[in-house]
Structure 1
């Protein structure tokens, strides 16, 4: 494994990666604000309008599994530019038509493009870090910028609507930013990761990776975490409807507060994961998350209005750490495929979790608390999974071996 990149290029690559995640989060996490506008414009049901969330998530899952290998086969830079180019071209098309099925088609295509450049960007993190510990800290930094984008996107949609413009101009703004990222990426030297293997790099290799216990374990953790997290940004506003307690203002701004705490916590996570035992932190934080969800169910809306937004602070480090450790359990020339597998389960959790919650709630008279009982189950299983990880430490030997092999002589 050989890598040649000047330090100033590494800094530029790192910042481009941060900005890339911020850019696409502006669109994916703004869908909650977009859906009510689409429902009014096309007289849609909740289920039909929800396709704007489920569709792109399924597309990202498919892209992660089918195209994750491109980061290893084409190289990180080419795969990133390919995905960004597809995303930009697709986003500009939002202005040429105004039908629901056209919008849904474009959002699904944007999910495919995101899956291509996101897996390549996740694989790239291993190329620009000098240890698995730094890998985890950097992953938290990347996801922190994603969290910033998740705040900016809904704000921009609200601003556009308040000024008499349509929500779809958000995608044009994202496309312009994307073009700037493409031009910058084209001019910067990326690290060269050379695969020491004669085996073909293709979809079949990615599918075989699912059988690996490390890939499967971290992928299931990603599924459980995202299914828990999506309960907040999809169903928390519904659960808090009708709240009449002393913290009415908090119920009104619960979702933005959740996103702010999640983003801020990830910046803290960059510092924390570089200094503390990641396995212990994961047990502590998943335990607090499970407690927040349990409290929201046991004591009802009067507690949920505080506990559910607060859970964002402790959710902040979970997903980037799962992603980092899962990818780090493989050689660098397999990071693209590993990222694709984890991304598949991530997007699957984002789609299946809220859908199951909605089905259970509808089966119990439409009361959202029953959906949160399902989400609490996800959180509790995730907690016990990390208790097992702390006690057995199944990744210690593998991470140590790969650290010595892939990172020891890196400049």
Structure 2
């Protein structure tokens, strides 16, 4: 029994490190974009493709390949995704054209979509209840938040030393190789089998009709569209602030990432003591207040409240993700994770894009883009209040049979 527990712990740490590694690259894009604009004389719209394109690729991979974890197994799918990501990362050193880098970004997004859905499905294999699953996913997202801090810092350090930003991907590629070795050495739990028809892309599309999968996916879309407003457009919104808190304005994005990381661990603590639906209402309500006041009172309020929103954001996505996956039997976790990932990445791409378009319509004022983000936050809050009051998923969550991991093979 102790051996089983130790193997489950190894799998958790392996998953934590995977999320930390790919967060280093995806959340460092904001620091890389100015370098691309200077090197290739790009507009903001053109350079922004390095954010939108991989997000779309992750969305496509989540929907198109999410079933692989259920079809060919967690271990093989994880190793496949990590191997592709590693190769793509090393290829950044070979070329020196924007189009070439963009193709690699798309390929890396597909690889992330493959191993992320498998890793989330694997968490279900080592969880004995949806409550345990939720706490573990929050732990995973805590390490993602740490990676989101390390990536930009590492790029900034490399640039200060005269080293090109693309060496970040080489470092990530090396970490990937290490993770592949660790995956090969780790004993995975047996995947629960089912007598139902084999999972496929068709079964993934069918899951889109399930109200539970769709409901949690829409929640993930709204949340990510709100969150991405911060790291994509907040610097633009508060640009030009000339009040007494200039230092805070300069480091507002860093403060946001730090508070989001702290909030991941705070979220795990809250979920251990309060009902998950109530926790989401509290946190989404706080986010809605932060965004609303930031829009009503302008930059003077935004430099405080928009970074502060990171503390409340931390718990929402991993909990929505976990509960959405937990609405299905373990043999369908990979497919469910893929569907939610599709909406997640779609929100990360569409949210900032809509904000940018609306801001341009109103003369390039980012305030109007944040009005859109505030609407996203308010709709998310309303949906979570309904979930707390009506408890529409309680029966589904309690009826799903979780496997007892008696052995790990």
Q: TM-score range by the shorter chain?
A: over 0.9
- CA distance in structure 2 between the partners assigned to 1:22 and 1:389 by the alignment: 31
Distance apart, 1:274 and its partner CA: 2.2
CA distance in 1 between counterparts of 2:191 and 2:154 reads 38
SS at match of 1:152: helix
- Residue from 377, 402, 408 that aligns with 1:406: 402
TM-score, length-scaled by structure 2? 0.98
Q: How much does 1:131 deviate?
A: 1.3
1:315 to partner: Cα distance: 0.2
Distance 2:404 2:140 in 1: 23
**Which residue does 1:133 correspond to in 2?**
131
Does structure 2 conserve the Cα–Cα contact (< 8 Å) formed by 1:132 and 1:399?
yes
Give the one of 50, 53, 77 matched to 1:55. 53
Taking the TM superposition and a 5 Å limit, the aligned residue runs for 1:10-25 are 10-25=8-23
* 1:271 Cα deviation after fit: 2.0
Alignment map for 1:155-170 (pairs within 5 Å)? 155-170=153-168
Which one of the candidate residues 193, 197, 200 is aligned to 2:198?
200
Partner secondary structure for residue 402 of structure 2: helix
Whole-angstrom distance in 2 between the partners of 1:319 and 1:103: 29
CA contact (8 A) 1:130 1:410 kept: no
Give the corresponding residue for 1:213: 211
Q: TM-score, normalised by structure 1?
A: 0.97
**Equivalent in the alignment of 1:363:** 361
**Matches of 2:404 and 2:390, distance apart in 1:** 26
Aligned ranges 1:309-328 → 2 under 5 Å? 309-328=307-326
What is the distance in 2 between the residues matched to 1:160 and 1:86?
A: 25
3-state secondary structure, aligned to 1:245: coil
Task: Select the residue among 152, 172, 175 that pairs with 1:174.
Answer: 172
CA deviation digits over 1:278-301, x for unaligned, max 9?
000101110110000000011110
2:271 to 270, 273, 293: 273
After the TM superposition, which segments of 4 or more aligned residues of structure 1 sit over 4 Å from their partners? 407-411
CA-to-aligned-CA distance 1:222-264 (integer Å, 9 cap, x gap): 0000000000000000001000111110110000110111111
Unaligned stretches of 5+ residues in structure 1: none
Are the counterparts in 2 of residues 4 and 191 from structure 1 also a CA contact under 8 Å? no
CA 1:348/1:14 → structure 2, altered by over 3 Å: closer, same or farther? same
**C-alpha displacement of 1:268:** 1.6
**2:119 matched residue in structure 1:** 121
Matches within 5 A, 1:149-298: 149-298=147-296
CA separation in 2, counterparts of 1:102 and 1:258? Answer: 32
Deviations 1:167-198 (A, max 9, x none): 00000000000000000000110111122124
CA separation in 1, counterparts of 2:24 and 2:376? 27
Aligned to 1:396: 394
- 1:59-81, CA deviations, whole angstroms, 9 ceiling, x for partnerless residues? 00000000000000111111100
Answer yes or no: is the 8 Å Cα contact 2:192–2:403 preserved in 1.
no
Displacement of 1:10 in angstroms is 1.0
Contact 2:67 2:338 in 1 (8 A): yes
Q: Secondary structure at the match of 2:69?
A: helix
Paired residues of 1:156 and 1:170 also in contact (CA < 8 A):
yes
Inter-partner Cα distance in structure 1 for 2:160 and 2:58: 31
CA RMSD across the alignment = 1.3
Q: Report the Cα distance in structure 2 between the residues aligned to 1:332 and 1:381, rounded to whole angstroms.
A: 30
Q: Deviations over 1:363-395 (max 9, x none)?
A: 000000000000000000000000100111011
Does structure 2 conserve the Cα–Cα contact (< 8 Å) formed by 1:130 and 1:408? yes
Q: Give deviations 1:77-96, integer Å, cap 9, x for gaps.
A: 11100000000011000000
Quote the Cα distance in structure 1 between the aligned partners of 2:405 and 2:321: 24
- Give the structure 1 partner of residue 141 of structure 2: 143
Q: Does 1:7 align with 2:11?
A: no
